[in-house]
Amino acid sequence: MRISNDSINQAIQNNQQTDSIQKSQTSTHSHSDEPLRDVVMQNTAMRQELTQDLPTHLTRLSGQFEKSKTDFQAQAARQAANVGLPAISNTAAKPVKPSDITSSRSFDRLSPSQKGLVRDVLAQNAGNSQVAGQLKEMIDSPMFFKKLTSNDRSYALNGLAKSPGALAADLLDFTQTASYKGFSKMQKQQGQVIIGLLSADAALNPSHNPTSRNTVLALTTGNVELGLPTKKELLDEGFTPEDLQSLYGFAYENTMYFNVYLPGLLDSRPDMVRTAAHEINHVLNDRDNDTEFDTPERALDEYRSWYMENFAVGINPPTVEYMQGVWENFFSPNAGYDNIREVYLQDPDFRQIVDQIKVDLDRGVVTDPETFRKSLAELIGKDPFIKNPRYLTTPGNLDNTLTPRARPAE
């Protein structure tokens, strides 16, 4: 599906810095008779990029949200992350010198190409003891030589080399996930580049946490799988070459997929962080509590993901201009989400709530997803368009806190 640029251009005409954030999401239980491409592209997000003046918002992170409470391993992962993050900027720790690495037994065990990569990273980041410290942590890790093949060591080192500031533990943990183990050699390299980029962003920008950090943990713990479909796989599913020029990613079942064939995507940290945060948020909110395609619940699910992806790049709350663009893309005559637009046209109760969001935006007030959810919950029992009332009575996941994933039936 293609949408007009007019309404979005109107909403963003006063902004100055482009921040590409096209994404899409599929239902966890899509119709079996619909090709995946049809489901995804019906739900494709902004054709024209929304814009943000990111530098003015980088330190704006506030608000406490209700967290998912489980006895799941996410709690341990979060504790490990909270310990790991301060360590990367701990100036009191003994600095790691290049010679501490190149004279070590671990370095001696590297292949010639791996040694060259380490030397290059050290030379390019001369004086940066944090980068040196992460390199040393990686090659000194028992996992590095005991559990990884030579190729996997190279991929992990390359992920760290391309994103100075990434945590070695993230790249190593990712090698143990089902996603990584099922990848081809090319996908493993791409995956480590992606994890390194996401890890570095979370570690170097603590004001983006917890959303940015939680997004990394979702992928490095295997709580959410990372999908990197080949071009052939995408084309076989019905995606067109034109689709691959506009699609950033999508979510399906327990996996978030990146379209690595979108030109420039792997080189754009904001796009990568936003895409991962957005799609993982879909997975975590829809897990065991799915939304149907033409419902108010699906509108909330999309609204929430567009809203909270800003947290992952340090913008909280999103700007009025940004959310005006989102509103236009959902509900205007030129809406990109035709399923959400259809509910808006047919459901007067839903339309009344949505129109109030627009009135509030016009007076400079952004409606947060939990306020939207509670307003929709008041329609339960009155609105026949609501198919899953439990979705509207369940507080949303607003920072990508990990949640339990269902175990496959034995």
Kindly report, residue by residue over 35-83, the tens digit of the pLDDT: 456 556 644 434 233 433 333 222 222 222 222 222 233 334 433 444 3
**Helix (H), strand (E) at residue 351:** helix 348-362
pLDDT digits 0-9 by tens, 339-365: 999 999 999 999 999 999 999 999 999
- Tracing tokens 């709690």 back to the chain, one arrives at 75
Q: What are phi and psi of 260, to 5 degrees?
A: -75, -5
**Which residue from 143, 185, 142, 137 is spatially nearest to 165, judged by alpha carbons?**
137
Q: What is the mean pLDDT of the chain?
A: 81
Please report, for the chain, the start and end positions of each structural domain, with discontinuous segments joined by +.
74-220
Q: What distance in Å separates the CA atoms of residue 306 and residue 21, rounded to the nearest whole number?
A: 9
**Burial letters for 392-407: b for 16+ Cβ neighbours within 10 Å, e otherwise?**
beeebbbbbbbbebee
Q: 401 with 215: CB under 8 angstroms? A: no
Between 57 and 218, the more confident residue is: 218
pTM over 0.85: no
Judged against a pLDDT cut of 50, whether residue 8 lies above it is answered with no
Residue 124 structure tokens: 């390019």
